[in-house]
Amino acid sequence: MAEDNDRTTVVERDRLPGWAVGTMVVLALIALGGVGLGWWATNYTQTSRQNLTSDMQALRSGYSKDMDTVQQRLTAAEKETSDIQDDLTVVTKRLQITQGQLTKARAEAKQIREDDAKQLADEDSKVTSQLSTKANTDDVTAVSGQVGVVRTDLDATKSDLSDTKNNLQMARSELGTLIAKNHDEIDELRKLGERDYIEFTITGRGKEQKVGNVTVLLHSTNPSKSSYNVSLTVDDKRMNDKNGTINQPIFFYAQGSKRAPMEIVVNTIEKNKVTGYLSIPKANQPVASASNGGM
């Protein structure tokens, strides 16, 4: 029994206390945690270093590309600047040449003007001298006689025109224009040169005829009453129909005209037929207005 008790005492002495075992377990866990943390830290450091290295390489690559692009642009800009400088040099040289040519041309033109003026003066002096030498009393008398003949002819023409105007026994319209009744009197009015006259004959009812710049449309005639009815178109603008009587003018104006009015005069009226003339004022004839008979 004593031996068994001794053995039990020895065994109990060899066992560790419970807290020691717990402490060892905790220390073991802490050691494992430290090993894991160290492993994680090592991996994180390596990964960070790799990422940083990759980023640095990417930055270097981008920087290198940007530098290459900048260098290419600088090279192109330098070439363009050089080309512009070359072109500017060429233009400057050409401008200098052109300026020189212009100066030369001006000098030549000035010399030509001076030479022409001198030559003209010499010719004038020469002609004057020749005329002075050749001119004599007989030549002057002959020239004076020719001048007198021309003057006499002019005076005679003026006198004829004055007599023609004074001898015209024609009625006047309300605007003071002379009214011709036949072809001969129209010719007499033409000689005065105050207006232009265009004769016409229109045959056929509803017949349209161009007279100068006026289109005349004959609607009807009444020979027994010496009357007729027409419509006029001036500058593509048709005017109202107008009743007229023989040898009585119908006055009307061209569109926008500031001259004296035109006039239509019918001298003969037959069945569906009229003859007469269109009177057109000269460009310098003053403005006049018709109180009656106008269109």
- Tell me the backbone φ, ψ of residue 148, rounded to 5 degrees: -65, -40
Q: 141: which 2 tokens?
A: 């008398």
Q: Please give the helix or strand (H or E) that residue 7 lies within, else none.
A: helix 2-14
Contact, 257 vs 240, CB < 8 A? Answer: no
Distance CA 89, CA 60 (A): 43
For the chain, the domains span: 19-134, 136-167, 174-281
Q: Can you give the pLDDT at residue 105?
A: 76
Angle at 256 between CA 252 and CA 257, to 5 degrees: 60
Domain 174-281 has CATH 2.60.98: yes
Model's pTM, two decimal places? 0.43
Dihedrals phi, psi of 250, to nearest 5 degrees: -105, 115
Mean pLDDT by 10 residues, the chain (295 residues): 54 64 84 85 85 84 81 85 82 74 80 81 75 59 55 56 55 86 93 92 92 92 94 87 92 78 94 94 60 45
